[in-house]
Amino acid sequence: MMTIGLRKWFSSNGSFIQNTGSLIATTLLTSGLGFVYWWIAARLFTAEAVGLSAALTSSMLMLGNIGRLGLDNFLISELPKRGKLAPRLLISSLWLSGGVALAFGLSFAWLSPFFAKDVHSYFDVWSNTLSFALGVALTSLSMVLDKALIAYMWGSTQLWRNILFSVLKILFLFMVACIFIGLGDAGIINSWILANLISLAFVFGLLARRLELPALPHKSAFNGLGLNIFNHYFLDIAQSAHALIMPLLSVSLFGASLSGAFYVAWTFILMGRMIPMHITTVLHALGSRDRELLRSKMRMTLKLSFLLSFVVCSVLFFASGPLLGLFGREYAEFAADPLQILAFIIFPYIIKVHYLALARVQHFVAKAAFIMTIFAVLEILITLFSASIGGLMGMSYALLFLSSLEALVLLPSIWKTVK
């Protein structure tokens, strides 16, 4: 009987399972192969070259993330409504995000002497400046395109793109080490950029067969949508601001030793939060395609999120010491107890990401952005205040309390939808 029920569940939720599974698999595979990439780089190149390359690729990811302008989630909401005009909106969005990200990359290179003296010498070579800016643009394009594929329920395509990217950058890294070793840090960075370029070309080749894609943006593609795009962008920044700024805050609050241990613990929390985040990304896509499905699908995603997060939270709570001990004894000594507390933040985060999906589907993005901004400011203030009084433990308890309070504020909207 139970087997029949499971078969029925898998049959009725096939698209959801496939697309959510593809996002989770993408995270696991790219994280694993990313570790392999930097492990190989550390053994084939000098520490200086690897350090500079890591700093610049992190900068590419940050600038690309900013340059996407919230268009990734905007497209999940809008593409299902556009019918035959959807390809025009997709291409115009890709041109916009790529162009803005390219400008960010060039600006970073030109302004680096004023705020990044350790990397500005890299940009003394004009080709390095251009390739870096291209890398930022490609990063932004890949982020927006991957979400657009989820909007079409083509999660497996984005999975294969990321697999291709991850494998190719390792192969190109070996080529640089064997043939172009004199390139050093530029070779490492360009292996990353070239792999991303080829993986995107692969996806565009597939899309050209499925959709009538125009080559250039259309001047009227965003007519009447400017405020909508801004609201999505504002919401993206507000809801992720605290998570992104935490490593920087920890350095200023606790010093290098404690902040290093906390950064590893915080990384485990961010990885645990990816499960409900991916689940609600697909919920957003399904709800945008058919709002009548939202109630039943949200009930299901809430149950699934809490079930999987219970497993993740249990692992982080009971294995905090051994997990952090993999990085060194001092990591476990400093951050094992805070990790046990912070693990419970995953549960209120489930409510938060379901609220965000609901806001995007039911078009109260501006209201959600306002609420997220208030809590982002409170999170930063309470981090500063609690850390100065109670250290890492005090800050961890305070963040758990505020996250729970945020969930209570957002819960009525969720309950109204699923009851």
Supply the pTM of this predicted model: 0.85
Cβ atoms 247, 266 nearer than 8 A: yes
Of 70, 26, 61, nearest in space to 356 by CA = 70
Give me the helices (H) in 290-364, please.
294-318, 320-325, 329-342, 346-362
Calculate the dihedral angle through the C-alpha atoms of 244, 250, 253, 258, rounding to the nearest 10 degrees. 180
pLDDT tens, residue by residue, 359-405? 999 989 999 999 999 998 998 888 888 888 888 888 889 999 999 99
**How many Å is the Cα radius of gyration of the chain?**
22
| Cα 338–chain centre separation | 24
Chain Cα centroid distance, residue 280: 13
Residue range 145-202, pLDDT digits in tens: 999 999 888 888 999 999 999 999 988 888 877 766 555 667 788 888 999 999 999 9
d(C-alpha 175, C-alpha 194), whole Å: 12
Cβ burial 221-235 (10 Å sphere, 16+ → b, else e): bbeeeeebbbbbbbb
> Measured between alpha carbons, how far is 419 from 414 in angstroms, rounded to an integer?
9
CB 175 within 8 A of CB 103: no
Ranges 206-210, 261-265, 356-360: which has the least confidence = 261-265
DSSP 44-65: HS-HHHHHHHHHHHHHHHHHHH
Average pLDDT for the chain = 84
Task: Count each helix (H run) and each strand (E run) in the chain, helices first.
Answer: 14, 0
Two structure tokens written together for 232: 């999505």
